[in-house]
Amino acid sequence: MQRGKKIFLLAFAAALACQPIAAHASALCGQLRDGLTNSSQIIGNSSEFRRYSSAIARQNIEIRKTRQDIRRLHCDTSAIVVIRADGGNDCSDLSSALTRMEENRRDLTARLEALRNSGPDEATKARILAALDANGCNNEPPGNAEAAGQQLSTPQEETDSRMTAALEGTTAYGNLRTLCVRTCDGGFFPISSNTSPMNFRRDADTCQQMCPGVETELYYHSMTSGESADMVSTQTGRPYRELPTAFSYLNRPTGEKSACECDLGAYYSKIRENSATLNVPDDKSAVIDMNPKVPATAPAQPVSSPPVERPYNPEDSKIRRVGPAFLAPDLGNLDLRHPAAPGPQPLQ
């Protein structure tokens, strides 16, 4: 009896000693899986990424203003050169400033792309995978794997939390405005107003149908407190200003067609064709005719004779007249120099 009790105590002590080791191994495996997951993601929500995106957006706005000034001064069309008192030229200064800003934008875009593509190389991923095998993380029972999965946050969960935080800023879920954004040049146009997140999928399909063959994304903003520039993606929850091509359509010269355009005319033509070709069932059998039936032999209607005109006698009129006569009696031609009678003369 004493021997069995000792064996039980030894087994219980061994189990207690193994629990910290198992917990440590599970935590280590969770860290390794987290590192592998983060290595496969593009970190686009860092402060540096947002700083470059905001700088590109501001640079695009300045380039647009400079192009407007060049068009306002007719620098590209006029052959007259205006020299200032200090010997400078406005058109030349604007052209030089535009060249510098475009070079700065190219530099910012290159840095943003380098930051976007920066990440662990394949050797780092291989080392993480080898560490997972060495620590037996791939041989864990399903219970530990589920526990580790509950601790790790997936990209979808991060997107959902970002979307929830963005929607919490709106006063009502039915007071949103959706916009279709072309990711190639940042151009956008409205889709729905006073809508809710329940209609996001429908509006996204409409956006894609309006721009066939063009990569699009649906954005939204509050109609009470938001502007179009403050819209947020319905897929990722990121602001429009973080889009690499945000406001790029403003830099396109006047009259130049965009490489990616939406065909709204074809979309509405298709809608009209679909409406015209709808199969409407024949419901004439269910219509009740409320008109009375006309007999086959209708009686002939008597022809009424026109009324007899009676002679008009003004003296026999029984209409009551009030006031004086407005027409003076016919007294012949009036001669004011030789009046016919003394006293006041009749009015002419």
Per-residue pLDDT tens over the stretch 269-285 = 787 777 665 444 454 44
pLDDT tens readout for residues 27-82: 676 666 656 555 444 444 467 777 888 888 889 888 888 888 888 888 877 766 77
Quote the DSSP letter at residue 111: H
Separation CA 327–CA 348 (nearest Å):
10
Is there a contact between 101 and 55 (Cβ–Cβ < 8 Å)? Answer: no
pLDDT tens per residue, range 198-243: 888 899 998 998 898 889 999 998 887 778 888 999 888 889 989 9
pLDDT at 134: 74
Nearest to 112 by CA among 43, 183, 181: 43
Count of Cβ atoms closer than 10 Å to residue 252 Cβ? 15
- Which of 230, 180, 220 shows the shortest CA–CA distance to 198? 220
Domain limits, the chain = 2-152, 160-273
For the record, the structure tokens of 308 come out as 């007899």
- Report the half-sphere exposure of 158 (CA within 13 A, side-chain side): 13
Give the start-end residues of each E strand in 98-200: 176-182, 188-195
CA distances 117 to 44, 113, 128, 205, 218, Å, are 10, 6, 20, 30, 24
Query: Do 162 and 238 form a contact (C-beta atoms < 8 A)?
Result: yes
